[in-house]
């Protein structure tokens, strides 16, 4: 059954208490922790078995929250947010000091996106700050597109109460968000996804190149 307001309120308490919450998005289910909570973010890496050098995407409820996570919000970012958020576009920008380095695999940038799922938008809005959300599967396993799939994957963590799973129904299977870098000169697609480089170029009115290769886990 799809989660309602009571589960969302419980999920907010779970995150604020340092716990993890799996949440639905329009792409796949994410494994959520408050981005500012270093210990909780460490647990996300640990239970996924994800290398600490593979950066996490921070999920926000909109542009206002996104601005708090970066030193370099700019006109490009505003245009793309207006055109594609909520939706499967992740923007890489300079990381604000309030975002722990562990979130970005130690790097100076941060990846930010606003997911298009009402349950998750409500959750992030109520939490009031950015929430990391790599796919809710152990590294090397298939990304989950249902709450049951997440529960199967993380049975122990759910049983112990460390992880709560919000049920938002089935996701549109498989396809991940497009990752575009807006740092260091011309915009560049770092990971292809639902939104094409040409669509991004059309919104920005300039050329957008695409770099191949993806090391996501
Ligand atoms: P996922 O595994 O779907 O959570 O996606 C995370 C992916 O987003 C990473 O594997 C990178 O490809 C990309 N990503 C996240 N943060 C950054 C960043 N700061 N700079 C560049 N790419 C990033
Ligand atoms: Mg993944």
pLDDT at 187: 95
Pocket of ligand 1 contains residue 95 by CB under 6 Å: no
User: Which one of 22, 27, 54 would you pick to mutate in the ligand 1 pocket, going by the greatest count of ligand atoms within 8 A of its CB?
Assistant: 54
What separation in Å is there between the alpha carbon of 55 and the centre of ligand 2? Answer: 11
The model's pLDDT over 99-144, given as tens digits with 9 standing for 90+, comes to 999 999 999 999 999 999 999 999 999 999 999 999 999 999 999 9
Please say whether the beta carbons of 69 and 97 come within 8 A.
Answer: no
Question: What is the percent of the chain where pLDDT is above 90?
Answer: 91
Pocket of ligand 1 contains residue 107 by CB under 6 Å: yes
Return all residues near 183 (Cβ < 8 A) that are at least 6 apart: 72, 92, 93, 94, 109
pLDDT at 213: 45
pLDDT at 1: 63
What separation in Å is there between the alpha carbon of 61 and the centre of ligand 1? Answer: 18
pLDDT at 212: 61
Pocket of ligand 1 contains residue 92 by CB under 6 Å: yes
Q: Strands, DSSP E only, in 69-175?
A: 89-94, 109-113, 131-132, 163-165
CA distance linking residue 44 with residue 202, whole number of Å: 36
Pocket of ligand 1 contains residue 216 by CB under 6 Å: yes
Pocket of ligand 1 contains residue 3 by CB under 6 Å: no
Q: What is the pTM of this model?
A: 0.95
What separation in Å is there between the alpha carbon of 205 and the centre of ligand 2? Answer: 31
Start-to-end Cα distance in the chain: 28
pLDDT at 176: 86
What separation in Å is there between the alpha carbon of 137 and the centre of ligand 2? Answer: 7
CA distance linking residue 123 with residue 9, whole number of Å: 8
Tell me: cis bond preceding 86? Omega within 30 of 0 counts.
yes
pLDDT at 199: 97
| Residue 158 CB burial class (10 angstroms; 0-12, 13-18, ≥19) | middle
The ligand that comes nearest to the alpha carbon of residue 108 is: 1
Q: How many CB atoms lie within 10 A of CB 52?
A: 12
What separation in Å is there between the alpha carbon of 110 and the centre of ligand 1? Answer: 9
pLDDT at 175: 81
Confidence of residue 216 (pLDDT cuts 50, 70, 90): very low
pLDDT at 211: 86
In terms of phi and psi (left: phi > 0; alpha: psi -120 to 50; beta: otherwise), the region of 182 is: alpha
The ligand that comes nearest to the alpha carbon of residue 193 is: 1
pLDDT at 214 over 90: no
| Residue 188: φ, ψ to 5° | -140, 135
């Amino acid at each position: 059954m799809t989660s309602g307001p009571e589960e969302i309120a419980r999920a907010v308490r779970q995150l604020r208490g340092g716990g993890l919450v799996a949440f639905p998005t329009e792409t796949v289910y994410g494994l959520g922790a408050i981005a500012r909570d270093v210990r909780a973010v460490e647990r996300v890496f640990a239970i996924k078995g994800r290398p600490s050098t593979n950066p996490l995407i921070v999920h926000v409820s909109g542009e206002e929250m996104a601005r708090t996570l970066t030193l370099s919000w700019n006109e490009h970012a505003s245009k793309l947010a207006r055109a594609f958020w909520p939706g499967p576009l992740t923007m890489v920008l300079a990381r604000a000091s309030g975002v722990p380095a562990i979130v970005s695999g130690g790097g100076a940038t941060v990846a930010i996106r606003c997911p298009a799922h009402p349950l998750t938008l409500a959750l992030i809005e109520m939490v009031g700050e950015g929430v990391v959300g790599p796919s809710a599967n152990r590294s090397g396993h298939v990304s989950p597109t249902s709450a049951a799939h997440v529960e199967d994957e993380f049975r122990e963590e759910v049983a112990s109460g460390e992880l709560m799973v919000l049920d938002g129904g089935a996701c549109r299977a498989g396809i991940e968000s497009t990752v575009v870098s807006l740092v260091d000169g011309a915009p560049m697609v770092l990971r292809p996804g639902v939104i094409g480089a040409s669509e991004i170029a059309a919104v920005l009115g300039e050329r957008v190149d695409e770099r191949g290769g993806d090391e996501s886990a």
